[in-house]
Amino acid sequence: MILRAVRNGLRVTRTRRFGPGENGEHHDQHLVAAWETAAIGGVAELQPPTVGGGFSVARLAMLLEQPVLAGNNPPDKPVWHCSIHNHRDDPLLPDQQWAQIAVAFADGVGLAPAGDRASVRWVAVRRADDRASAPDDRIATFVGMPLRDQPAQEPFESRDLELGAALGAWSEAQTLFQLELLGPLDAPGMDPTWLLRVVGHVLQAELVLFYGPHVDVSAFRSTRPEDGLYVGGETDITPSRLTEMLDELAAVEEGDAMPNWLRPAPDY
């Protein structure tokens, strides 16, 4: 395995691993691995859709950048990137083996230790490269660094369970979306306690609960990709307010504007 130059970048959406290359040499770009909680059901659902002959990475960027946008004083360049490739004389590796290499690499450099669901979010993108000067087999790894740097809050287990029950009740009654609810999670310190992923025809969103209680929300309208990512959050959240926020997200799926507690994500 050969490790290529490592650098920081501005935004996940500005990366070029899903692009065609300067001379159209890149093809068959696809995800082979991702951070642990996202990879539970496989990485196929994270694969950016094709749009107009290219790839739309907005949803994937939203998921990768959510912890960064939720943090205080995020860095100017929060995206870390490197590529790993085999020697041109080595045999081509199957996706499964590249996935194992990516997981081992993220663990080995200390970015995503095995079993640590609170570590950084990352994905490994495999692509073929047809350049005569470098006809190799490689993956590129992106990392959206988690930056929730506020002090850990005292756990409020009973209130957290009430919020989880509100999430569960809303999810059971909901028919507009495909939903994935995770929790209660083992959440020491600043780790998430509950996570709800929402996927509709119009709206895609992720809601994350933390001790405090605090809720962070990131949302994206697939019908208006030019609007980009929206983010928002509230502290001292109550079950009734949480349900109200979820209902306002459901209203977006039915044609309403984004609620005023969500704002366009800053362009770092």
Spans in the chain with pLDDT lower than 70 = 1-28, 39-41, 52-53, 68-78, 109, 118, 128-158, 187-190, 267-268
What's the pLDDT score for residue 40?
66
Q: Which of 110, 144, 178 is the last residue of a domain?
A: 144
Beta carbons of 128 and 26 less than 8 angstroms apart: yes
What's the pLDDT score for residue 136?
52
Outline where DSSP puts E strands in 5-68. Answer: 7-9, 26-34, 50-51, 54-55
pTM (two decimals): 0.49
166 and 60 in a common domain: no
Q: How many domains does the chain have?
A: 2
122 and 42 in a common domain: yes
Instruction: Let me know if residue 150 belongs to a domain.
Output: no
Instruction: Let me know if residue 68 belongs to a domain.
Output: yes
The domain of 87 spans 2-144
What's the pLDDT score for residue 18?
56
What's the pLDDT score for residue 150?
36
78 and 118 in a common domain: yes
Q: Which of 144, 171, 197 is the last residue of a domain?
A: 144
Beta carbons of 77 and 268 less than 8 angstroms apart: yes
CB count, 10 Å around CB of 152? 14
Q: What are φ and ψ of residue 94, in 5° steps? A: -70, 160
Q: Which of 144, 168, 194 is the last residue of a domain?
A: 144
41 and 15 in a common domain: yes
**Alpha carbon distance 203, 224 (integer Å):** 10
99 and 7 in a common domain: yes
30 and 130 in a common domain: yes
What's the pLDDT score for residue 69?
67
What's the pLDDT score for residue 108?
74
Instruction: Let me know if residue 42 belongs to a domain.
Output: yes
List Cβ neighbours of 209 (8 Å cut-off, separation of 6 or more): 160, 163, 164, 167, 183, 192, 193, 194, 195, 215, 237
Beta carbons of 186 and 192 less than 8 angstroms apart: no
